[in-house]
Amino acid sequence: MPISKTVFGGLTTYVVSELAPDEQPELAVVLCHGFGATGRDLVGLVQPLAIIDPDLVRRSVFLFPAGPLDLSGYGIPYGRAWWMIDLDRLLNNPTPELLARFRREPPEGLAEARQMLAAMIDQACVELGLAPEQLILGGFSQGSMVTTDLALRMAQGPAGLAILSGALINEREWSELAAARADRPLRILQSHGRDDNILMYPQGIALRDLLVEAGHQVEFVPFTGGHEIPLEVARALAALCGRGLAR
């Protein structure tokens, strides 16, 4: 499947598309990677999506932006991040106080990452001739957090939000933002592994409950497994994207 690389809004972005140069996409699917992954980490998702729904891939363009932070100096060659995380402490010493702070506080760098992602999407939509309502926005792990933070603030769109193995952060502000757009409820796919030992299952449940209580349309897909994207989640993602095409 053809993969190219460009820059949108200052972010290196991997583009997967089967469209001819003169063809107009009907939908853009923007998926953001997790902490420490490469910018291409989620590109492989397009292959199962193409098998599940070939028409979706024929009519859409898939965009995979790389996070703004380079982690090669931290011993993670080619790794990128949206903001810094003390991953060792979070994994090896997840005290109740630390987890409560992780849930409650906006992480340093979140606002900057959100602004860069918004600029990336704005430029991509202009160049592709698409409106925000023709956008599926989502990500995995940290990538799902930055996309959730952005989606809750968007005046228009997206057509759908995919929160894959995410967690509740920035709780007070997200509660306010989610309630403020109750008249424009988001269509959300959220998945989480019951055995996730990086972002634990209750952290995902807390985010789901916040969104549901605010009136958003959440399809929650739990699965037996860890911090991953199994085939059943790929199927649900294909369905979410398909509904975006059928708007």
Angle between helices 96-104 and 201-213 (to 10 degrees): 30
**Which pLDDT does position 87 carry in this prediction?**
66
Please give the CATH architecture assigned to the domain spanning 3-245. Answer: 3-Layer(aba) Sandwich (3.40)
The residue ranges of every structural domain in the chain are: 3-245
Tokens 């490469």 locate to: 38
Alpha carbon distance, N-terminus to C-terminus of the chain:
26
Report the residue count for the chain: 247
Tokens of 152: 């809750």
**For residue 21, with 0-12 CB atoms within 10 Å meaning exposed, 13-18 middle and 19 or more buried, which class applies?**
exposed
Count each helix (H run) and each strand (E run) in the chain, helices first. 9, 10
CA 86 to chain centre: 21
**Which pLDDT does position 36 carry in this prediction?**
95
**Which pLDDT does position 74 carry in this prediction?**
87
Global pTM reads: 0.94
Distances (CA, A) of 43 to 52, 64, 101, 118: 16, 7, 32, 20
Tokens of 181: 């757009």
Tens of each residue's pLDDT in the chain, 247 residues: 789 999 999 999 999 999 988 899 999 999 999 999 999 999 999 999 999 999 999 999 999 999 999 999 988 999 999 999 866 566 656 677 777 777 888 899 999 999 999 999 999 999 999 999 999 999 999 999 999 999 999 999 899 999 999 999 999 999 999 999 999 999 999 999 999 999 999 999 999 999 999 999 999 999 999 999 999 999 999 999 999 986 5
CA 240 to chain centre: 13
Listed in sequence order, the residues at least 6 apart from 144 whose beta carbon sits closer than 8 Å to its beta carbon are 32, 34, 138, 162, 163, 164, 165, 166
Is there a contact between 148 and 232 (Cβ–Cβ < 8 Å)?
no
**Which pLDDT does position 1 carry in this prediction?**
76
Cα gap 204→90, rounded to integer Å: 16
